[in-house]
Each structure stands twice: as structure tokens, then as C-alpha cells.
Amino acid sequence: MMDAKASLQAWLSGGAAQRLLVVSLAASSTFVLFYVLYQRFFSPLAKFKGPFWASLSPAWKLHQLTKGNFHETIVDLHEEYGPIVRIAPNEVIISDKSAIREIYSTTQGRDFLKTDYYDPFTAFRPTIFGQRDPHLHAKRKRIVSHGYSMNALQAMEKFVQERVQLFMTKMREFSRTGEQINLGKWCHFFAFDVIGELAFSEGFGMLESGIEDEHIRLIENQMEFGSTMGMMPWLVPYTKWNLPIPWLQSLQAGRERLKELTQSRVERRRHKVSDRKDLLGRLIEATDPVTGEKLDPIDLRTEAFSSIVAGSDSTSSALSYTFHHILTHPSAHTKLVSELRTAFPNARSSTDDPPTYAELGRLPYLQACIKESLRLTPPATINLPRYVPSGGRVLAGTYFPGGTTVGMSAIPVHLDRKTFGDDAGRYVPERWIEGAVAPDGERLSPEDMMRYWIPFGVGSRMCIGKNVAMLEVSYPRPPPILHRVS
Ligand code: HEM
């Protein structure tokens, strides 16, 4: 033993330390060289174009996300590289509309499962949003979908109407006093208060107070945690190590606080006797029609957490964007106000009974304004990633090996001039009534366009809260245009 140690020391002291360093450097350089050569020329995804660094590491994606304009990056990438772009060593994004059904539909896309991107969105246990196992997802959906049905919604409509009245009263006050407000902030207050009412029969009181509740920050926190860590989900277990990274520590602390708040709201609601049919009440009563199983307290928390996270920020963005488009397009504003006044000639005051969702659904121009806003500025712009099933599949006419991550973002699909018309980049609600014209002169009907309108996703994982969202966005009337915005 001593001899071996002595000879090692002798070897090192004889200049071998430098030799060891050189050998390690040569080994790691060779590894890197082979890795780069493999990713660039031999990987099954090497044939797809995309940024150089993206082909080498998912860190490229993460870096782009942190810049805060990933949706624009996605559009730019498709413009530069075409309908299929490699955005990580094992991931591509696709903008060709033929791939929508191939990846997401309940028939063709049945075996394309959600990827581990969704894992960091899970708080207590996998929610209906984050559950990747298709059987467990179907089981959970059987239990919770009842709570999101049109029947359930009609029973809750009057609570949304109350919030609408409060929102409109505030808007009137501001327009009377001329006080300048941040409308986006008030849309946030409205969306959060409504989701609180719908989920737990308890709003957050933000419309009353005009003060941002802690939940807004915490939910933004959770979205940031989910979408950032989702870029490299294998890092998630390390986030529990309490690493001395202030950004991570604050996101983690926020997430824990949100879990606590959701838990206490769920417990309060569970012990409150109420005949009001809110989402949580329905979830407490819900049973699986096949197995008769009910949700346990942790699952209840999980689903309440999911509806708040998935349903607040997205709806608030949809409402803010819709107001933005209407207020910056005076002709749309005039037409919409005229349609509303003709349909409800007596509803002049915020204290009058607001119209019903069914009545609003029958107003073509209002619906066109909302659809157009969700087309041009969809709140969910991420590329909804899925794994290609084993054995591989042909998508948009190109073969992808099993295990490849593929995904589509609504934005490039919605901006396609061949699908939505030559003026697809502009806010033109009329296209949903009169149709549009493609660059080659082909007429596009609203029904044709509707097949590729995907702000709520497609297939079995499509948004379960779509009706809730459409209800919320349909209600608030646009404020008057006080100053023309250029
Ligand atoms: C305008 C507002 C909304 C937009 C744009 C939107 C968008 C989406 C999209 C694109 C998905 C599909 C995600 C994927 O495939 O990865 C989704 C799923 C989901 N959304 Fe929404 N959403 C909105 C409002 C809501 C609301 C109000 C709720 C709840 C009250 C909600 C709850 C959910 C849930 C639970 C899922 C997962 C469904 C499943 O996997 O089965 N969303 N949403």
C-alpha cells in the first residue's frame, strides 16, 4: 500500500500533475466535441433547423423565457426557420396547422401525453392540469367536470353578476371623477374576486378595497415557478434543498404561502354549511360515476389550487386584452356599444339587472370582439408540450421518433395569413361574422377559421374552465373612450 502511494507521489511530483490535467482536459474536450457533433449531425432531430445553442442545451429555452417575451421568440423562430423548429436537444415546436389534430385531438393525438414540463405546476398532488397519466387524468376529470358544466355555471351566474355590478359601479365612478386608473389592474381584481366567489363562495374583496391582495403576487409567483422550472423539470427536486439562490428562495416561499392560503380557504369552506353550489361545494359532493370514489381533503386542496392558478391570471389577461383592443379600435368600440344599447335599451345604470350569459352569447359583434382578442393575444402562449408515442409518428408530413417532445403555441397558428386572412396581424372582429380573404384570394369562412382557433387548447386536455372564462369575459361592458389612443 505504502509502495503504491509512494510511486503515485513520485509520478505526480515528476510533472505528472500537469499530465493529469492535460489528460482530463483532453477527455472533457473530446466529450464536448462528440456531444456537439452528435447533436448537430447524428441526433434524429439534427435535420430540424433552429438556433445553434438550442440544439445543445435546454438552457437556451430557459434563457429565452427569462427575457419575458417568449411568445414573440416563438413567432420569430417560425419566421426564421419555418414550421418546424428545434428549441432544445430533444424538443421541437410546430406551427403547421395540420399538426393540431395529430398531436392534441382525442382520436389521433390520444397517445401524445403531457411531458414533465407540467410537473412544477403541481402543488400538493398532481392536479387535473398537471396529471400526466391518462387513466388518472380521465378518472379525475369524471369527478371534477361536473363542477365546471354549463348547469353549474348557470347556478353561479348571479354571483358573477354581482361582481360585474360592482366593477361597473367603480368604472362609472372613475369616469365621473376623471381619475386615471390602470384598467389592467382592475381586470385582475375582477377576475380574482370572481374566481374566489366561484371556487369558495368567498371573493378576495379587491373590487371593494381597490387594493391588490397577496394572492395576486403569489399566483404570479407560482406561474413564474411553474413555467421557469418547467423548462428544466429535472431541476425541481433540487429546489427543495433550500439552495442559497434568493430568486428561488422567494419563489419557493411564495409557493408554500399560496398552498397554506388555499388550504385554509378549503378548510373554511368545508366546515361552512352552505346551500350555495360553488365549485368546491360541488367537488366535495362529487363522486366518480364509474367507481363511486370521492375526492379526499388533499385532492380537494389540489383542485382548488388548480382552479385558482389556472383560472385567475389567464382570465384577467383575456379581459385586459379585450378592453385594450376595443379601446384602441374606435370603430369596433362604436359598433359594440351600439349593439349592446340596441340589445339592452333599458340597461343604462350599473345597478340595473345585468343581462344573462345566454343573452350575451347571442350578440354576434360582442362574441366576435372576444374571439378576435383571444386569437390575436391568447393569454396562454406556451407551446403545450407532448411526448411523441413510442414507435414515432408523422406530424405535418415529417417523421418524429418516439420520445421527442413536440408542441404548438397558439400564437403562430393564429397569425397564419392562410388560415385567418391577409390581415391576420390586425384586430378585425368582422372576420368572425363576414369571413376573411387569404393572400391567394381564397375566401375563409368563420367556421373554417374556428377549426384553428385554439386559445383554450384542443382535445382531452383542453381547458375545463372555458365556459367560466367566456362568462367572465363577456360581462363587463367596455368603458367609454376618453382619450383616443394612437
Ligand atoms: C381566458 C381564460 C383561459 C385561457 C386562455 C385558458 C387556457 C387554457 C389552455 C390553453 C389549457 C390547455 C393546457 C394544456 O394543454 O397544456 C387549459 C387547461 C386548463 N384550464 Fe384553462 N384557460 C382559461 C381559463 C380557465 C379557468 C377560468 C379555469 C378554472 C376555473 C381554467 C382551468 C383549467 C384547467 C383545470 C385546465 C386543465 C384541463 C385538463 O388538463 O384536463 N382555465 N386552459
pLDDT in tens, the chain (486 residues): 556 677 667 666 667 778 888 888 999 999 999 999 999 999 999 999 999 999 999 999 999 998 889 999 999 999 999 999 999 999 999 999 999 999 999 999 999 999 999 988 877 788 899 999 999 999 989 888 888 888 888 888 888 888 989 998 999 899 899 889 999 999 999 998 998 888 877 778 999 999 988 888 888 888 888 888 888 888 888 877 777 888 888 888 888 888 888 888 788 877 777 667 788 888 888 888 788 888 888 888 888 877 888 888 899 999 999 999 999 999 999 999 999 999 988 776 655 677 888 899 999 999 999 999 999 999 999 999 999 999 999 999 999 999 999 999 999 999 999 999 999 999 999 999 999 999 999 999 999 999 999 999 999 999 999 988 998 888 776 666 654 443
Which three cell numbers mark 239? 429546489
Helices (H), 344-402: 357-361, 364-376
> What are the boundaries of each domain within the chain?
113-416+452-476, 417-451
pLDDT of residue 152: 85
Ligand 1 within 6 A of CB of 115: no
Q: Which of ligand 1's atoms lies nearest the C-alpha of 199?
A: 30
- 463 marked as part of a ligand binding site: yes
Contacts of 2 (CB under 8 A, 6+ apart): none
Instruction: For residue 137, give the ligand 1 atom closest to its CA.
Output: 41
Ligand 1 site, residue 401, Cβ cutoff 6 A: no
61 lines ligand 1 (CB under 6 A): no
Indicate the class that CATH gives domain 113-416+452-476.
mainly alpha
Q: Which of 295, 463, 464, 471 to mutate to test the pocket of ligand 1 (most atoms within 8 A of CB)?
A: 463
How many angstroms is it from 129 CA to the middle of ligand 1?
8
Contacts of 247 (CB under 8 A, 6+ apart): none
Cα separation of 125 and 241, whole Å?
Answer: 19
Ligand 1 close to Cβ of residue 51 (< 6 A): no
Q: Tell me the angle at which helices 364-376 and 297-328 cross, rounded to the nearest 10 degrees.
A: 100
Angstrom distance (rounded) from CA 145 to CA 283: 9
Instruction: Tell me which residue of 67, 36, 68 sits closest to 52, measured CA to CA.
Output: 36
Query: What spacing in Å lies between the alpha carbon of 293 and ligand 1's midpoint?
Result: 24
Q: Which atom of ligand 1 is nearest to the CA of 384?
A: 16
Distance separating alpha carbons of residues 45 and 50, to the nearest angstrom: 10
In ligand 1, the atom with minimum distance to the C-alpha of 468 is 27
Q: Which ligand 1 atom is at minimum distance from the Cα of 279?
A: 30
DSSP state of 355: P
Sign of CA dihedral 182, 185, 189, 190: positive
Task: Report the run of H or E that residue 101 belongs to, with start and end.
Answer: helix 98-104
146 lines ligand 1 (CB under 6 A): no
Judge whether 113 and 127 are in contact, CB under 8 Å. no
CB 88 within 8 A of CB 60: yes
Burial of 291 (0-12, 13-18, 19+ CB in 10 A): exposed
Q: For residue 365, which phi and psi values (nearest 5 degrees)?
A: -75, -40
Ligand 1 neighbourhood includes 307 CB (under 6 angstroms): yes
Q: How far apart are CA 16 and CA 10, in angstroms?
A: 9
How far apart are alpha carbons 417 and 223 in whole angstroms? 31
pTM of the model: 0.90
> What is the distance in A from the centroid of ligand 1 to the CA of 311?
7
Q: Is 304 in the pocket of ligand 1 (CB under 6 A)?
A: no
Q: Report the separation in Å between the CA atom of 314 and the middle of ligand 1, taken as the mean of its atom positions.
A: 8
Residue whose CA is closest, atom 25 of ligand 1?
311
Cα separations in angstroms, 164 against 160, 208, 351, 442:
6, 12, 10, 41
